[in-house]
């Protein structure tokens, strides 16, 4: 079963589910005008990396 979960990228709220850092996932960052599509086996770790990237702060 697949589940779509919305998180708050600007406030570093990605969820606490164990699978977020141990499962291949597709994720979307969007701001109403642009979208970034990514894939990672470690989503929480990747979101932390994105949040410190100036180019991703627009999301």
Report yes or no on 2 lying in a domain.
no
- Token pair for 29: 């960052």
Encode burial over 6-22: b for 16+ CB neighbours within 10 A, e otherwise. Answer: ebebeeeebeeeeebee
* The model's pTM: 0.65
In this structure, is residue 39 part of a structural domain?
Answer: yes
Domain assignment of residue 44, yes or no: yes
Residues with pLDDT less than 70, the chain: 1-2, 7-20
Domain membership of residue 1 (yes or no) is no
Residue 49 covered by a domain:
yes
Q: Residue 49: give the domain boundaries.
A: 24-56
What confidence score (pLDDT) does residue 57 get?
A: 76
Q: Does residue 29 belong to any structural domain of this protein?
A: yes
pLDDT in tens, 13-25: 566 666 667 778 8
- Per the structure, how many domains does the chain have? 1
Contacts of 16 (CB under 8 A, 6+ apart): none
Q: How far apart are CA 7 and CA 5, in angstroms?
A: 6
């Amino acid at each position: 079963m697949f589940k779509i979960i919305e998180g708050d990228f600007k406030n570093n709220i990605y969820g606490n589910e164990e699978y977020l850092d141990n499962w291949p996932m597709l994720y979307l960052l969007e701001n109403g005008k642009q979208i970034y599509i990514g894939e990672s086996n470690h989503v929480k770790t990747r979101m932390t990396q994105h949040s410190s990237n100036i180019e991703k702060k627009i999301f």
